[in-house]
Amino acid sequence: MRNLLKSKRKALLISALALIAVLCPVLVFAAEEEAQALPSCYATIWALFPPLVAIVLALITKEVYSSLFIGILVGGLLYSGFSFEGTVTHVFNDGFISVLADSYNMGIIIFLVLLGTMVALMNKAGGSAAFGRWASTHIKTRVGAQLATVLLGVLIFIDDYFNCLTVGSVMRPVTDRHNVSRAKLAYLIDATAAPICIIAPISSWAAAVSGFVEGEDGLALFVSAIPYNFYALLTIVMMVGMVLMKVEFGPMAKYEKNALNGDLFSKEEHPFSGDTDDNEGNPNGRVIDLVIPIIALIASCVIGMIWSGGFFAGEGFISAFSNSDASVGLAVGSFFALIITIIMYMIRHIMSFKACMDCLIDGFKAMVPAILILSMAWTLKAMTDSLGAKTFVEVAMQSTAGDLQKFLPAIIFLVGCFLAFATGTSWGTFGILIPIVVAVFQSSNHELMIISISACMAGAVCGDHCSPISDTTIMASAGAQCDHVNHVSTQLPYAIVAAAVSFVAYIIAGFVQNVFICLPVAIILMILVLVLLKFVNPPMEQDNVTAGNEE
C-alpha cells in the first residue's frame, strides 16, 4: 500500500514537472513582444497562487524541495507572462541570486553554519552525552522530558531561529531517551519559538513590530498588545495542557504511539536515524561542556544584537534592541561563542584544534537541508512579492476596514493567518497589516487598535506556525532533526485548534474590549476544548512504557 502511494505521488510530481516543461517553450511564442513594467496579474488573487501551489504539492507528494521549486517556477511564469526567457531571468536573477546576495539572508545562513558547528563540537566533546546522562537521573518521565523542553524554549526568548536550533540540540538526546517522537519534539520547539518571541518585549520580534508602528510609541503599544495576543498565549496553554493531560490527536497520535515502541520517526526512510548524539564523543565529557557553550552562545548573541543596534555607541538597551539587526547580531554572537567554546575545549584537553576544525565541515553538512529549504522559501517569497501580494492584501483590508468594526479583529486575524501561511513570513505580514490598522483606528478607538494589532501579530504567528515554507517551521524541523513534511502534517491540527479558539476570542474581544474578561474566557475555552479532546482520544499509558533508549 505504501509503495502504491509512493508511486502515485511520484507520478503526480513527474506529471507536474512534465506539464511545466511542455508549457514553457510553447507559451514563449504566445508571450507579448513588449515587456510590461508590471505583470497583468499584479496585485490580484493570482499573486498568492505560487505559494499555494508549493504548499499543496508539498502536502500531497511529501517532497518539499521539488514542491518549492515548482512554486517558484509558477511565480516566474506568471510574472513574465509565460515567456521562457523572462521566466528563467526572473527565477534566477530576481530570485535565487537576489535572495542569496541579500546581506540579512546571508547573515542567517552564516548563523546556521556556526550554530551547526557548535552542536557538532558539543557532541564530539561529549557534552551532549553527559547532559543526557545527567537528565536521565533527574528527568524520569516522558511528561518531564516534554515539560523540560517547553521550559527551555520559554527561557530562550531572544530570537526564534536561535530558539529552534538551540532547544533542539540540547533536548533531543533527552526526549529520545524517553521515546518522545521527533515530530512531537519539533512541535514543542516550534510552539515555543515564534509564540514566545511575539510576547517577549525584549526580542528581535518586538523590535520588528515596533518598527512598523508610525506615530505611536511602538514598544509601549507592543506591551499593551501582549494580553490580547490570544494565539500565542493559547498555544502555550494548549501545549502544556496536552503534555500534562497526555492528550494527542490527529497524525501526531500515530507518531507518539510508534515512538512508545521505539520508532521515533514513523517513516521508512529517516536520514537522521543514524544520528546518535549520546553515543558519540569524548567519554570524559561533562555537563559543563554543554552548559558553558550554551551560556556563551546566549550571552554573545544578546551582546551581538544590542551592539548592532548601537548600544556601545550610546543608545539605551531598549532602543538598541529595537534598532538591532538580528542577522548581524546572531552571526557575530555565534562566531564569538564558537571561539570561546574551542578555547575552552582545548584548555580542558577535551578536543584538539584539528578536531575542532573538522566540526566546521560536520556543522555545515548538518545544516545543508535547512539552508536549501530556506533558500527556496526566500526565493518563493521574492516571486510572491514581485506579483504584488502585499498590495493586493492591503487594498482588500482597506476596503473592509470601514464596515463591521466590531468583527474587524477576528477578520484581521484570519487575513493574517492566510497571508503568513501563503507567504511563509510573519514579519512581512506585520509590515502589511499593522500600518493599515494604525491608520484606521489611531484617531477613533485606541483600545480596538491595540486589539487589532494583537490580531495582526497573532494571525501572522499562526500562519507562520502552519506554513511548510516558513523559515521558523523549517528551523524547528532542523532543530528536532525531523522530516519537514512530517512536522508540518502533525503540527497543523494542533495549530488549527488553537487558531479556532483564538478566532472566537477575537470576536468576543471586538465587542467587550476588556482584557480582564477576554483573556480568562479564552483560556477557559481552550481548557474545555482540551478536556473534550481527551474524552474523544483517551490518553496513552505513556509513563508505564520503559524508555527504549534508556540502556
More confident residue, 373 or 269: 373
Whether the per-residue pLDDT at 120 is higher than 90: the answer is no
Average pLDDT value over all residues in the chain:
80
User: What confidence tier does 31 reach under pLDDT thresholds 50, 70, 90?
Assistant: very low
Cell of 141: 518521565
Pick the most confident of 94-98, 370-374, 440-444. 94-98
Whether the per-residue pLDDT at 313 is higher than 80: the answer is yes
Compute the distance between CA of residue 141 and CA of residue 162 in angstroms, rounded to an integer: 27
Surface-to-core class of residue 543, CB atoms within 10 Å of its CB (0-12 exposed, 13-18 middle, 19+ buried): middle
Whether the per-residue pLDDT at 61 is higher than 80: the answer is no
Q: Which amino acid is at 52?
A: L
Closest CA to 117 of 363, 437, 320: 363
Where does 309-352 have alpha helices with state H?
A: 317-322, 326-347
Compute the distance between CA of residue 317 and CA of residue 324 in angstroms, rounded to an integer: 10
Residue whose C-alpha cell is 526512510:
269
Whether the per-residue pLDDT at 291 is higher than 90: the answer is no
pTM over 0.75, yes/no = no
Compute the distance between CA of residue 257 and CA of residue 501 in angstroms, rounded to an integer: 27
Q: Which of 24-38, 59-73, 88-102, 120-134 has the lowest mean pLDDT?
A: 24-38
More confident residue, 91 or 58: 91
Other residues' Cβ atoms within 10 Å of the Cβ of residue 169: 25
User: What confidence tier does 214 reach under pLDDT thresholds 50, 70, 90?
Assistant: low
Confirm if 13 and 71 have CB atoms less than 8 A apart.
Answer: no
Compute the distance between CA of residue 426 and CA of residue 163 in angstroms, rounded to an integer: 16
Cell of 380: 518563493
Q: What are phi and psi of 66, to 5 degrees?
A: -65, -35
Q: Which of 33-37, 163-167, 221-225, 422-426 has the lowest mean pLDDT?
A: 33-37
Whether the per-residue pLDDT at 104 is higher than 70: the answer is yes
User: H/E element holding 36?
Assistant: none
Residues 6+ apart with CB under 8 A from 300: 332, 333, 334, 336, 337, 340
Compute the distance between CA of residue 406 and CA of residue 399 in angstroms, rounded to an integer: 15
Confidence (pLDDT) at 25: 44
Cell of 519: 483573556
Confidence (pLDDT) at 204: 57
Confidence (pLDDT) at 219: 63
Q: Which of 36-50, 122-136, 164-178, 435-449 has the lowest mean pLDDT?
A: 435-449
Confirm if 186 and 487 have CB atoms less than 8 A apart.
Answer: yes
Whether the per-residue pLDDT at 402 is higher than 70: the answer is no
Cell of 312: 556601545
Confidence (pLDDT) at 439: 67
